[in-house]
């Protein structure tokens, strides 16, 4: 039977019992007990494993001021734990009213049941409160002087004044009419001269509430300490100093990191750290705040995967995710890299303005004179549903002109197919085959394309092979990793050329960024080239994920950027080399310096052979 008099007497004794103040770190190490929690790997809080939690925990101590805290970082690394420890600590050290807001009522109930209640039962002073009648309801705890309300963000908060307000995963709060759940919760602390608003969330986008709150705060980034120069130089969210080697898996058709090759390079002293160093780098790490003056009232914290010492976030796994993003066009992978590995908002992959600006140096407006042109040819890459295609001209000074470029949806069509498509779409259809059969207009006349280089790799090999079988001008291009030759005819099919793609990538990059002589051996691009295609050329940049990524043949597309136009230009330089060495008699003027060098070399070889005889 409930004894009201005894209960009041106990509360009276508790009221007069003065407990000494204990700081939150000391309290948490002694009071937080994970034993019995099957989701916890350790029975006690281990801040040696997660030192980046220490400073955000200290922000829970009341200072007589109104404080707003923002913590953003990767999932499953203690953000909710920060919230739970802070609320329970203040239940004991600073009893007051609390409000915790979650994306939904279901999430609120689940976190209360799985996170709060098991820990409350392990803290004697709070466990005793839990046994009192009416101390718990579906949406609250009522512990003497401390009350905690919890609810979902989908409905307005009514008539609650709270000294502590927690916003959990607010980037995922539902949009309900004009209701701003974050602002609605913040108003609950208006009537207090000291209060704490504590936000924890993995960022989603730059416009999300948690990232805006982080930027409004002190902007503290968890930073690792170099084991050579001793400085805090490597932010845990910054992968620009993280490098590794990779190999291509032929069976899976993906690049994989070489395990053990991962290293984190100090940007200050260039010391290379291995994964075995990460524990010490983090234990000696610290938050570096951009705005120190905001640390008291608006401290904000960010941590990424390089702060993690968990096996799941091994450096090899980080490297694999970086490679996955660099070799595929799936935007989901980039969201995961930015949000779940870097702990940052998703950033759309863009080509830098200066890269596009540099490309404009190659533009031409008036076409060259017909009397200067040696050969005209067409190059096509192949994608699943279209063929990126460029029309090129080589002049007598070895200048290469991209006369026309576009994504062409059809390789070739029968007359019936053409009529049906034109009737359906209401416009004239132009196929790759049409382009190959159309003379190119220059100043003073036209010249028909001499041959067509088309990529054989991909999902359309049968279609490409059938097309090549119908036209002897077609050369099938098969990129490969040749070691001793730049290209060679395939043994299986003389119409197919196996090409060292890296060799011609190196040539193209030199043409784009180093060659300055516009009179000879220069790359000219039509000024009608769309920005989309300009971006496809400029997106191939030095690969920071590799030790030798600065070497031109190892450059790679930035992020998930489409690079079809770059590949077409690369194939065009193969086409020039092929023409010079295989079909010189078809050059119109035979003044090309490359052609003259080829003849001179051939004559020298013949002369040397005669001398040897």
Q: Which carries the bigger pLDDT value, residue 226 or residue 602?
A: 226
Q: What is the pLDDT of residues 231-247, one digit of tens each?
A: 999 999 999 889 888 78
322 pLDDT more than 90: no
The answer to whether residue 141 scores a pLDDT higher than 70 is yes
Per-residue pLDDT band for 249 (boundaries 50, 70, 90) equals confident
Bigger pLDDT: 334 or 474?
474
DSSP state of 577: H
pLDDT score, position 184:
82
- The pLDDT of 374-379, averaged and rounded, is 98
**Does the pLDDT at position 578 exceed 90?**
yes
- Is residue 118 scored above 50 in pLDDT? yes
Among 86-95, 133-142, 244-253, name the one with the lowest average pLDDT: 244-253
Q: What is the pLDDT of residue 333?
A: 78
pLDDT value, residue 609: 54
Predicted pLDDT at 131: 84
Within 204-281, strands assigned E span 220-225, 232-235, 242-243, 246-249, 254-257, 263-265, 272-273
d(CA 262, CA 252): 22
322 near 314, Cβ under 8 Å?
no
Alpha helices (H) in 302-398, listed in sequence order: 315-326, 331-336, 353-359
pLDDT confidence of 130, banded at 50, 70, 90?
Answer: confident
* 199 neighbors 229 (Cβ within 8 angstroms): no
pLDDT at 458 over 70: yes
- pLDDT range class, residue 327, cuts 50, 70, 90: very low
List the single range of 39-43, 66-70, 297-301, 563-567 with lowest mean pLDDT: 39-43
Residue 1's pLDDT band (cuts 50, 70, 90): very low
Q: Specify which of 283-297, 311-325, 446-460 reaches the highest per-range mean pLDDT.
A: 283-297
pLDDT reading at 15 higher than 50: no
**Average pLDDT of the chain?**
87
Q: Assign 181 a pLDDT band (cuts: 50, 70, 90).
A: confident
What's the pLDDT score for residue 356?
A: 64
pLDDT value of position 287: 98
Percent of the chain at pLDDT exceeding 90: 55
Q: What is the reported pLDDT for 231?
A: 96
**Local confidence band at 375 (pLDDT 50, 70, 90 cut-offs):** very high
Model pLDDT, residue 328: 44
Handedness of CA 266, 270, 275, 281 (dihedral sign): negative
Rounded mean pLDDT of 471-489? Answer: 90
Q: Closest by alpha carbon to 214, among 76, 15, 424, 56?
A: 56
> Can you tell me which residue has the tokens 């404009």?
360
Domain ranges of the chain: 23-216, 223-286+311-346, 355-604
* Residue 613: pLDDT over 70: no
pLDDT for res 485: 87
Of the pLDDT bands very low, low, confident and very high (cuts 50, 70, 90), residue 310 is very high
Mean pLDDT of 357-369: 88
Pick from 77, 78, 97: which is nearest to 87 by CA? Answer: 97
CATH number 3.40.50.300 is the correct assignment for the domain at 23-216:
yes
Average pLDDT over residues 427-446: 95
Query: In the structure, what pLDDT confidence band is assigned to residue 411 with cuts at 50, 70 and 90?
Result: very high
Across 335-383, the runs of DSSP E, i.e. the strands, are: 363-364, 373-380
- What pLDDT does 353 receive? 57
DSSP 179: B
Q: Could you tell me the pLDDT band of residue 329, with boundaries at 50, 70 and 90? A: very low
Determine which of 34-48, 136-150, 329-343, 547-561 has the lowest per-residue pLDDT on average. Answer: 34-48
Is 0.75 surpassed by the pTM of this model? no
The least confident of 10-14, 23-27, 278-282 is 10-14
- Left, alpha or beta for 64 (phi > 0: left; psi -120 to 50: alpha)? left
Q: From CA 518, how far away is CA 313, in angstroms rounded?
A: 50
Name the CATH code of domain 355-604 (choices 3.20.20.540, 3.65.10.10, 3.30.390.50, 3.30.420.240).
Answer: 3.30.420.240
């Amino acid at each position: 039977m409930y004894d009201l008099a005894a209960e009041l007497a106990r509360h009276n004794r508790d009221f007069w019992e003065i407990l000494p103040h204990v700081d939150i770190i000391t309290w948490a190490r002694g009071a937080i007990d994970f034993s019995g929690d099957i989701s916890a790997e350790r029975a006690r809080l281990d801040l040696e494993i997660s030192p980046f939690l220490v400073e955000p925990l200290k922000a829970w101590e009341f200072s007589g001021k109104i404080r707003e805290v923002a913590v953003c970082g990767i999932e499953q690394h203690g953000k909710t734990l920060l919230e739970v420890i802070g609320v329970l600590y203040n239940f004991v050290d600073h009893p007051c009213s609390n409000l915790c807001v979650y994306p939904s009522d279901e999430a609120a109930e689940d976190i209360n049941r799985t996170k709060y209640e098991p820990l409350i039962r392990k803290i004697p002073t709070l466990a005793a409160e839990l046994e009192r009648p009416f101390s718990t309801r579906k949406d609250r705890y009522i512990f003497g002087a401390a009350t905690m309300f919890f609810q979902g963000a989908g409905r307005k908060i009514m008539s609650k004044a709270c000294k502590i307000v927690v916003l959990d995963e607010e980037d995922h709060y539902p949009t309900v009419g004009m209701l701003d759940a974050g602002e609605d919760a913040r108003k609950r602390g208006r009537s207090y001269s000291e209060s704490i608003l504590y936000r924890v969330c993995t960022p989603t986008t730059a416009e999300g509430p948690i990232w805006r709150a982080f930027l409004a705060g002190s902007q503290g980034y968890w930073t690792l300490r170099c084991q050579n120069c001793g400085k805090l130089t490597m932010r845990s969210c910054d992968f620009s100093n993280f490098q590794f080697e990779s190999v291509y898996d032929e069976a899976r058709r993906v690049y994989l990191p070489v395990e053990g090759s991962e290293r984190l390079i100090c940007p200050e002293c260039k010391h290379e750290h291995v994964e075995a160093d990460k524990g010490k780098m983090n234990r000696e790490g610290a938050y570096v705040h951009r705005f120190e003056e905001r640390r008291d009232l608006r401290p904000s914290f960010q941590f990424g995967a390089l702060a993690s010492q968990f096996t799941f976030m091994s450096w090899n796994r980080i490297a694999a995710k970086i490679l996955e993003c660099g070799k595929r066009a799936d935007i989901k992978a980039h969201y995961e890299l930015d949000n779940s590995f870097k702990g940052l908002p998703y950033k759309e992959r863009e080509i830098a303005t200066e890269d596009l600006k540099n490309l404009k140096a190659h533009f031409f407006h008036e076409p060259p004179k017909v009397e200067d042109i040696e050969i005209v040819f067409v190059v096509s890459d192949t994608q699943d549903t279209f063929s990126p295609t460029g029309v090129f001209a080589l002049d007598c000074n070895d200048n290469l002109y991209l006369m026309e470029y576009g994504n062409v949806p059809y390789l070739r069509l029968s007359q019936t197919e053409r009529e049906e498509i034109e009737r359906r779409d209401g416009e004239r259809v132009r196929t790759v085959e049409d382009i190959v059969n159309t003379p190119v207009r220059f100043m003073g006349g036209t010249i028909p394309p001499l041959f067509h280089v088309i990529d054989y790799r991909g999902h359309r090999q049968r279609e490409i092979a059938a097309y090549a079988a119908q036209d002897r001008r077609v050369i099938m291009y098969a990129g490969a990793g040749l070691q001793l030759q730049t290209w060679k005819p395939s043994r299986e099919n003389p119409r197919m050329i196996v090409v060292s793609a890296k060799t011609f990538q190196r040539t193209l990059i030199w043409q784009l960024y180093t060659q300055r002589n516009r009179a000879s051996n220069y790359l000219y691009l039509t000024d009608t080239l769309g920005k989309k295609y300009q971006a496809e050329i400029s997106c191939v940049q030095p690969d920071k994920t590799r030790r030798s990524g600065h070497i031109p043949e190892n450059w790679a597309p930035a992020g998930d950027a489409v690079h079809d136009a770059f590949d077409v230009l690369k194939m065009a330089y193969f086409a020039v080399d092929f023409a010079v060495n295989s079909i010189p008699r078809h050059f119109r003027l035979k003044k090309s310096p490359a052609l003259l060098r080829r003849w001179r070399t051939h004559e020298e070889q013949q002369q040397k052979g005669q001398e040897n005889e």
